[in-house]
Amino acid sequence: MTKDYDYPEADIDRMIEYIKSIDPENATPEMAIMMLENEYAKNHKLSHEQPEVLEAIYNDIKKKQRPNQ
């Protein structure tokens, strides 16, 4: 779905570190990109099927970044 998008190297590196913690043998850049693409696809699907859930997730993240608001 997002094959034409180049994920930032920092995002790929962070995902590789996560994969290393759960499945070191498969901690590759390719697997990291597949994980990032999967997250994008899930959010895209959610935006069409349950936009209120995605909005709630967004608002929760926003509150964590700005706890006084």
Q: Domain for residue 30, yes or no?
A: yes
Contact 29, 16 (CB under 8 A): yes
Q: What angle do CA 5, 51, 62 make, to 5 degrees?
A: 75
Structural domain span for residue 23: 9-65
Q: What is the pTM of this model?
A: 0.76
How many domains is the chain partitioned into structurally? Answer: 1
46-67: pLDDT as tens digits: 999 999 999 999 999 999 987 6
Q: Domain for residue 4, yes or no?
A: no
Task: Please name the residue that has the structure tokens 């959010």.
Answer: 43
16-37: pLDDT as tens digits: 999 999 999 999 999 999 999 9
